Amino acid sequence: MKRSIVLTLLVCMISMLAACSSEGAELSSDSESSILVVYFSCTGTTEQIARWIIGETGADSYEIVPEDPYTEEDLAYYTGGRADQEQSDSSARPAISGSVENIEQYDVIFLGYPIWHGQAPRIISTFLESYDLADVTIIPFCTSHSSGIGSSAENLHTLCSGSVTWKDGRRFSGSASENDVNEWVDSLSLRESEENKGNIVREFNFETKTVQLNSGYEMPIMGLGTYSLTDEECAVSIAALLEAGGRLIDTAYMYGNEAAVGQAVRDSDVPREEIFVITKLYPNQYSYAADAIDEALEKMGLDYIDMILLHHPGDGDVEAYLALEQAVAEGKVHSIGLSNWYVKELEEFLPQVNITPALVQNEIHPYYQENDVIPYIQSLGIVVQGWYPLGGRGHTAELLGDETISAIAEAHGVSSAQVILRWNLQKGVVVIPGSSNPDHIRENLDLFGFELTDEEMEQINALDRNEKHDWY
């Protein structure tokens, strides 16, 4: 038993050291949500529960990061180390790096933590005593192998003012599922939860250039598609993307360049957690999806993959998606989704799976706009991403030379490509144009110095020909 606890704490120490390498935790978004999820996580179990709550409620999030990182010796139970001393001293208050700004905007705070010696880590007490939480509703949740939330929540409640509304908490084990969490959140009957629950349209944040997925993770809204890029081209292109500030990379098993993508990510000076990598399983992998996920991880040489999609519908796609869900539970994959699924396919597919896709990636460009499909997907709380945003190979020149688009580009002093990509973003569509030209890659990221008017958006909308440029 003691050995198991020590091993758990060793993993905790590694996670916390990584988390504490930054200058301090910040809010995950600057939205106007009235719900905040605050959590302190060691092995990632509490963080996963927190992210599922975020996805279900549309809440902001704040990770509690210790100012003085815990060492291996600190976290070894029953040795008289720092963790032992803090947990045995009710007055201990470990310092926190960073703070929550505008905490007064929040009406509800979910408060998550692992159980240490049957109680919440003392750093949770530090958080509660650092803010005026008058009239706030606090909902605790904990993660543990066996200990209930019990007295840990009761003791935390005593640290709050009498005007705090303290709801009964919930303990989750490491085997908890997203459905378990969603059912609990629904049972709380929170007004904002019911309004935002799962089916909120995921608004783009043009300041951070990201969107918060229903999985709780943030994803950049523009990046690089690597379809048809050879290994060497791929590596050079990714280096150019990262140097220019881009952080989203899209690849797939069928592109044959997953290894090059992983190598480029590992060779970069950009911290891994800032880069968002998407890959896809092809239908010929669906029958052995769990092994295919492990193969992708090994090929890329990454500890986790930010998102895996199913490339397009095929035999065994539901079973393959369930394997993706299991990979999420195991921490191998953060978010999952679909590619080349449309309204009919989604209506048939979604009732058969447990985790709502975070993303659906389809062909979208001014000549093939999917104006009936995009709102449907977005209404489900799913982000839409467009491949072939510039028309696809063999069609790009015609699209970039379109008189309407060229005139709008001239009016703004930008390129036709920038106009098309900006049109996508203003429609709520993430863009991943492919290129091996560093100048074009930089240009394709420079989309925030201008804005298309409503009239210009309508002019481009009028170009729709329902003209698909690939068979998916």
Catalytic positions: 255
CA dist 470 and 472 (Å) reads 6
Q: How far, in whole angstroms, is CA 212 from its chain's centroid?
A: 6
Within the chain, how many helices (H) and strands (E) appear? Answer: 19, 19
Please write down the long-range contacts of 420-424, taking CB distance under 8 Å and 24 or more positions apart: 420/365, 420/366, 420/389, 420/390, 420/460, 421/222, 421/389, 421/390, 421/447, 422/447, 422/450, 422/451, 422/452, 423/366, 423/452, 423/457, 423/460, 424/364, 424/386, 424/389
What length is written for the chain?
Answer: 472
- On whether the CB atoms of residues 171 and 157 are closer than 8 A, the answer is no
The encoded tokens of residue 378 equal: 């977005």
Q: Which amino acid is at 269?
A: D
Q: Which amino acid would we find at residue 360?
A: V
DSSP-derived letter for residue 116 is B
Q: Is the dihedral of CA 68, 71, 76, 79 positive or negative?
A: negative
Tally of CA atoms within 13 A in the half-sphere of 446 that contains its CB: 13
**What is the Cα gyration radius of the chain?**
23
Among residues 235, 275, 247, 284, the alpha carbon closest in space to that of 436 is found at: 235
User: For residue 437, what are the β-bridge partners?
Assistant: none
| Alpha carbons 221 and 166: distance in angstroms, whole number | 37
- Upper half-sphere CA count for residue 141 (Cβ side, 13 Å): 26
The CA-based dihedral angle spanning residues 8, 13, 16, 18, taken in that order and rounded to the nearest 10 degrees = -120
Give SS3 for 147.
Answer: coil
The two tokens of residue 3 are 């050995």
Distance, CA of 173 to CA of 405 (rounded, Å): 54
The Cα 153–Cα 144 span in angstroms is 13
Beta strands in 320-380 (DSSP E): 333-339, 359-363
Cβ-based neighbour number of residue 351 at 10 Å: 7
The CA distance from 318 to 330, in Å, is 19
Q: How far apart are CA 123 and CA 87, in angstroms?
A: 10
